Structure 1
Amino acid sequence: MNCYCGTTKTYQECCEVFHRNNGKTDTAEQLMRSRYSAFVLADGDYLMATHHQSTRPTKEKKAIVKWTKSVQWVKLDVLETTQGTQNDHKGTVTFNAYFFENGKIDVIHEKSAFVKEGNLWYYLGLSR
């Protein structure tokens, strides 16, 4: 079975590696994909650890985990990545995350901002 994030690799070869190493990814897109898989798995600890401390919604962790468990995740489509490579210190990833809730398919469309600090990528929030 392919990884939850939509690559052709298995979860064990893909996002599980990042889930086990506390989000040490090479690129912003890898971090975004691993965060999507963490939503699928309702891994609130990983979502908090990879969310930049300046925007981390620590008080909302339980509500986020509860919601991720209440929906059925369908698929992730990465639409565009700007910067966010090994040599960058910032980047954006635009994506659609599809999920099934209340009897219908819905989508989260987001252009996410990422920042690299101390060789670790972090999710900042919506890109402005």
Structure 2
Amino acid sequence: MSELNCPCGRGIYTHCCEPLHRGQRDAESAEQLMRSRYSAFAKHEIDYIVSTTASGQQSHLDIAAIRDWAMSNQWLKLEVIQHLPRLDKTHAQVEFKAHYQHVDQVHVHHETSNFVFINRQWYFLDPTTDQTVTMKQPCICGSGKKFKQCCARFL
């Protein structure tokens, strides 16, 4: 892949995902956020990966592991299988396959990710964070709703 091409497969990096990585614009959809996060792994933009995760989960991320995962792989291709833009008023879902090479072996990471739209921005809901969440506490996304009324069914 040319250095000019965006890792997400949607165009030239400087016009595609780089403006999102630099904070010059926000993702317009959950799919665009997911694509920009894939590109962030490929470009080692770890701060972007952290900042686009739901606010209540950011302090629970293993940033060293994220950095190691991003840097130890060669990111080959992103394949979006399905984008469900309206699971409800604020949630969306994207199914994708991330193709990458680790050492001499090619792998495919197949995932269905959930996203939440809060304060006019999309955020990734990370199901792997090591945190205890109760149904009656404020939601981890920062919506102000109780967890059980907001993101609970998506995590």
TM-score (norm. length: structure 2): 0.74
Residue aligning to 2:45: 43
**C-alpha contact (below 8 Å) 1:15/1:37 kept by paired residues:** yes
**Whose radius of gyration is greater, 1 or 2?**
2
In structure 1, C-alpha distance between the alignment counterparts of 2:8 and 2:52, rounded to whole Å: 16
Task: Kindly report structure 1 stretches of 4+ aligned residues shifted beyond 3 Å.
Answer: none
Q: Call closer, same or farther: CA 1:73–1:16 in 2, change over 3 Å.
A: same
Q: CA deviation at 1:64?
A: 1.0
Determine what percentage of the aligned residue pairs are the same residue: 37
SS in 2 for 1:112: strand
Check 1:50–1:124 CA distance in 2 against 1; reply closer, same or farther (3 A cut): same
Report if the CA contact (8 A) 2:50-2:61 is conserved. Answer: no
Q: TM-score, normalised by structure 1?
A: 0.88
Q: Count the aligned residue pairs.
A: 125
Task: Give the Cα–Cα distance (whole angstroms) in 2 for the partners of residues 4 and 122 of structure 1.
Answer: 20
The structure in which a higher percent of residues are strand is 1
Gap runs ≥5 in structure 1: none
CA deviation after TM superposition for structure 1 residue 59, in Å:
4.6
Structure 2 CA distance for partners of 1:115 and 1:23, relative to 1, 3 Å: farther
What's the counterpart of residue 149 of structure 2? none
Which whole-Å CA distance do the structure 1 matches of 2:103 and 2:59 have between them?
A: 25
Higher RCO structure (Cα 8 Å, ≥6 apart): 1
Distance 1:93 1:28, change over 3 A: same
Asked whether the 8 Å contact 1:38–1:47 carries over to 2, the reply is: yes
- 1:2 is matched with 5
Aligned to 1:72: 74
* Cα root mean square deviation, aligned: 2.0
Q: Which runs of 5+ in 2 are unaligned?
A: 128-153
